[in-house]
Amino acid sequence: MISSVRRHTVIALLTIALAATPALAKEKNGLALGGEAGHTNTGLSVKYAIGNFHIQLMAGLDFFSPEGIDRIDYTVGATLRFTYALARMLEETNFVVGAGATFDIFNSVENDLTVDVAVTLELLIGVEHFFNDFFSVSGFVGIPIEVLNGRRATKIEDPDTGEITTEVRSGVGWSITGVAWGTGFHFYF
């Protein structure tokens, strides 16, 4: 556990470092098209930039085959994300913060149970580096908060007997599901 003095020292140093940044974030205006791979959604991305504020819409389609089961399932996902460039870290690199939501629709039928809808909220920090005025790459980390709506089936194996049971959750709930991460690229017009 980090002591209170250390925690306050780290927070003070980060605040001073951000406050001492002399340059404003690199501003962009207009439309950007690209792609992103991440924790909650992987797919095509459309961004609209208004100065340091960006609105991002992403759509993904994922096919997978569960181990030991002869079928192909799919997930259709859509992400809406808002980011803000706080400061310029290097000549062409912005430090960004953001928040978003991913909506996933699953087709997975097993034992007459359907995993149908999941919503994941994200709180993010990251960087976006511009190689020129038209092309950027980005990376982020953050906290995903999964909100469930609908039915979700989870297989649980008893370590003693090897028996497999199915746990079903219904309704709305939430859980922090690890660490959100992602990387992407965009072409600005």
Reported as a single tens digit per residue, the pLDDT across 76-135 is 888 999 999 888 777 788 899 999 988 887 765 554 445 567 788 889 999 999 998 889
Q: What is the largest CA-CA distance in the chain?
A: 64
Structural domains of the chain in order of their starting residue, each with its CATH number: 24-188 (2.40.160.20)
The residue with tokens 């980011």 is 83
- What is the per-residue pLDDT for 99? 93
The predicted structure's pLDDT at residue 57: 93
Residue 180 burial class via C-beta count within 10 angstroms: exposed 0-12, middle 13-18, buried 19 and up: buried
177 — pLDDT class (breaks 50, 70, 90): low
Question: Is residue 73 within 8 Å of 58, Cβ to Cβ?
Answer: no
pLDDT at 20 over 50: no
Q: What is the DSSP letter of 27?
A: P
Rounded to whole angstroms, the Cα distance separating 141 from 128 reads 12
Q: What is the mean pLDDT of residues 136-151?
A: 81
154 against 55, higher pLDDT: 55
Per DSSP, the three-state class of 24 is coil
In this predicted structure, the answer to whether residue 164 has a pLDDT above a threshold of 70 is no
